Structure 1
Amino acid sequence: MNSTRGVPYNNDAEMYVLGSIIIEPDLMNAVMGKLNEDDFYNPQNRNIYQAMLTLFKNQQPIEALTIIEELDRMKVAHTFDVRGYIVELVDTVPSTATTYLYIDTVKEKAVERELLKNFKELSEDILTNKYDFNTILDKTEDKLQDIIKKRKTSDFLTIEKAATVVYDQIEKYVGNKNEITGLATGFPRLDKATLGLQKGDLIILAARPSVGKSTFSLNLATNISEKNNAHVAFFSLEMSIEQLVMRLFSAKAYLKLSNIRNGFLNSKELIRLGHARQDLMKLNMYFDETSSSDINDIRAKCRKLKQADQLDAVVIDYLQLINVSGKRGNRQEEVSEISRNLKLLAKELDVPIVALSQLSRLVETRSDKRPVLSDLRESGSIEQDADIVMFLYPYSDVKEVSESIDTTEVEVDNDGEGQSRRIDLLIAKNRQGALSNIEYIFYGDECRFKEMRVKRPSTKKTSA
């Protein structure tokens, strides 16, 4: 490796790549997909590669004469002995068979130089107190992630390979005889509609206040962890961990939350609470102790769990409470950026992210209060970024105006001790499936939802 003022680069590797292209011009396609002119540190190599790029884009042959002519047009040919250097480039290459190894070496040195540059900038920011501590950490992580993404260049996947991969996956589904291809939610009808929560998906769960969306999200998180032995990260920007865990106790033990909070429990109920504690301790659930409201903090904590192989799903309660540090635009622009960042994070981490959202007050002004996609509060981009959009709404709000929902079609076991009411879940957007309306009983006192079963038509015996 050559070194000038400690800057990492490998001149031999750069020369090998350029010489290989002159010998075998068809290599240009592969090189272009991995290297740009800035990846070459030596100015002579950089200029020659830039000339090669221009020739290739103009569909001109890449050979000694055309390279020299292009360098003349770039007004850099006189800075060094071009003819002699091109001969040296060709002599450097005994075989083009190992060119790809040298391409990787050039790229690695370019990444090292970019790391060095970014860390120098960060050092200057720290020494001059340009940013606060958290902003410095966010900038450091963002710069590292950007560099990692640049390093992970990939070629096109042919339809032949793509079809083979997908066909093999379908065969696995057929072999498993399982309707669910993602994470089971613990709600059979929801699983049937979504095939489970899929990796890389952003799922929006929206409702007006006091409909039970926080409770539903907690039920969802515990079910996902329990049914799939999955690791679930839960971010609540409204409630403390103590409040969240009390709700989990209430749901697991079938006990009224108010009785748990004031300690009005008899001996049998304390035993049920103890059993609930044992069940909860088995779950792989993680609660954010700091109640982070900054999108960068949420991203950093999720990445940390993923790196430790402890992340299969994320639940955030709720989207409109997330902040974007350093932004001075209006709130709609901020929410748009937040939803886009959540979708990108789901793809990056390859996990489903469930984000709760508020609905506009306009839904209350209509006679039919069943939510629609335009009711998503503060941003239409939420609808665009989401793979699935689900609405929770009280059946009582639409009962009088709805003819499509028949209460005789569903049934439920009223196994709760507290008061209950019917809440419906409407899947208003499903990028990979059908839309659906699913009925639930919400036991508000016990912080849990129970899915209502579809009644099967009764069969009457006919006399012979």
Structure 2
Amino acid sequence: MKLSAPIPMLKRKARLLARTKNIPLHQALDHIAADEGIAGWSLLAARVAAVRPAARLFAWFAPGDMVLLGARPGQGKTLMGLELAVEAMKSGHRGSFFTLEYTEKEVLDRFRAIGADRQQFGALFELDSSDTISAAHIARRMAMAPRGTLVVIDYLQLLDQKRDNPELMEQVRTLRALARDKGLIVVMISQIDRSYDPAAKAVPDLEDVRLPNPLDLKLFDKACFLNQGEVRFQAV
């Protein structure tokens, strides 16, 4: 099922419609669902839940993998990262989320957006939103992490924003070694360059990754790209 926009964007559209038309939110949601060709919001939500790719994507991973997760803003890459952490925790593994982009409250709000309850996972979930995040910081935090832990890093292009941090290439090599040595799955969220044209290519790929600093993308094993509800996986 292909939607005109990711679920979070459709919900924002519904909230705006509810305010401008002065109608209940549930009616606005149903209007949005009708625009997508579906009889009601509950049916739309059920269909989306049935085809969510996070479970299929997680099944594609193996301990030691370095994974790139890329999309333009507003396409759901952060939500996908959290969904992957949830899939890991459902299977009994730990999920760790390191973010230089969002506050703890914003991350927990996104848990609710994907219909997950943070509390049900207890100590399996770890969130780090500190300003000191770097490859070395992550390696220290993950030194005792059990094999199979899924680590989400939000996001690639922010890792070397501080001058005292090593170059991006060196940090990604450090994370690759961490994944290999500890048997972790490291998922790195990435921006896509503004030059990407969805009219020319429905979903971005490795050529569209924004690289303000040199980086050999062959350091990644697998990649996943999102756009307008479409998801594509590829080996690197």
Q: Partners of 1:251 and 1:349 in 2: how far apart?
A: 29
In structure 1, the residue matched to 2:224 is 390
Question: Tell me, what secondary structure is at the counterpart of 1:356?
Answer: strand
Please tell me whether Structure 1 or Structure 2 has the larger radius of gyration of its CA atoms: 1
Letter in 2 for 1:297: H
Q: Partners of 1:187 and 1:219 in 2: how far apart?
A: 6
In structure 1, the residue matched to 2:170 is 337
How far is the alpha carbon of 1:238 from its aligned partner? 0.7
Q: In structure 1, which of residues 288, 301, 317 is the aligned counterpart of residue 154 of structure 2?
A: 317
In structure 2, the residue matched to 1:293 is 133
Contact 2:88 2:149 in 1 (8 A): no
Question: Tell me, what secondary structure is at the counterpart of 1:426?
Answer: strand
Correspondences of 1:15-414 after superposition (within 5 Å) = 187-190=54-57, 195-226=59-90, 228-252=91-115, 276=117, 278-281=119-122, 284-303=124-143, 305-306=144-145, 309=146, 312-323=149-160, 326=164, 334-364=167-197, 367-378=200-211, 381-394=215-228
Question: Tell me, what secondary structure is at the counterpart of 1:211?
Answer: coil
Question: Tell me, what secondary structure is at the counterpart of 1:217?
Answer: helix
Q: Partners of 1:277 and 1:200 in 2: how far apart?
A: 26
Q: 1:251 to 1:297 in 2, by over 3 A?
A: same
Contact 1:205 1:357 in 2 (8 A): yes
Letter in 2 for 1:212: G
* TM-score, structure 1 as length reference: 0.36
Question: Tell me, what secondary structure is at the counterpart of 1:252?
Answer: coil
Q: Partners of 1:369 and 1:425 in 2: how far apart?
A: 10
Q: Partners of 1:209 and 1:186 in 2: how far apart?
A: 19
Aligned-residue RMSD, C-alpha: 2.7
What do residues 280-332 of structure 1 show as CA deviations (whole Å, max 9, x unaligned)?
A: 44x610111524332221211111x42xx48722111111111276468xxxx
Q: Partners of 2:148 and 2:198 in 1: how far apart?
A: 41
Q: Partners of 1:233 and 1:291 in 2: how far apart?
A: 16
How far is the alpha carbon of 1:369 from its aligned partner? 4.2
Q: Partners of 1:319 and 1:336 in 2: how far apart?
A: 10
Q: Partners of 2:77 and 2:55 in 1: how far apart?
A: 18
Question: Tell me, what secondary structure is at the counterpart of 1:361?
Answer: coil
Q: 1:280 to 1:430 in 2, by over 3 A?
A: same
Q: Partners of 1:221 and 1:311 in 2: how far apart?
A: 11
Q: Partners of 1:201 and 1:390 in 2: how far apart?
A: 13
Instruction: Give unpaired runs (5+ residues) of structure 2.
Output: 1-51
Instruction: Give unpaired runs (5+ residues) of structure 1.
Output: 1-184, 254-275, 329-333, 395-422, 432-464
Instruction: Give the 4+ runs in structure 1 shifted more than 6 A.
Output: none
Contact 2:147 2:183 in 1 (8 A): no
Instruction: Compare relative contact order (CA 8 Å, sep 6+) and give the higher one, 1 or 2.
Output: 2
Q: 1:208 to 1:299 in 2, by over 3 A?
A: same
Question: Tell me, what secondary structure is at the counterpart of 1:362?
Answer: coil
How far is the alpha carbon of 1:383 from its aligned partner? 2.2
Q: 1:311 to 1:190 in 2, by over 3 A?
A: closer
Q: Partners of 1:214 and 1:426 in 2: how far apart?
A: 16
Q: Partners of 1:311 and 1:189 in 2: how far apart?
A: 16
Contact 1:363 1:369 in 2 (8 A): no
Q: 1:388 to 1:277 in 2, by over 3 A?
A: closer
Letter in 2 for 1:196: W
Q: Partners of 2:168 and 2:220 in 1: how far apart?
A: 13
How far is the alpha carbon of 1:338 from its aligned partner? 2.5
Contact 1:233 1:314 in 2 (8 A): yes
* TM-score, structure 2 as length reference: 0.67
Q: Partners of 1:201 and 1:381 in 2: how far apart?
A: 17
Question: Tell me, what secondary structure is at the counterpart of 2:187?
Answer: strand
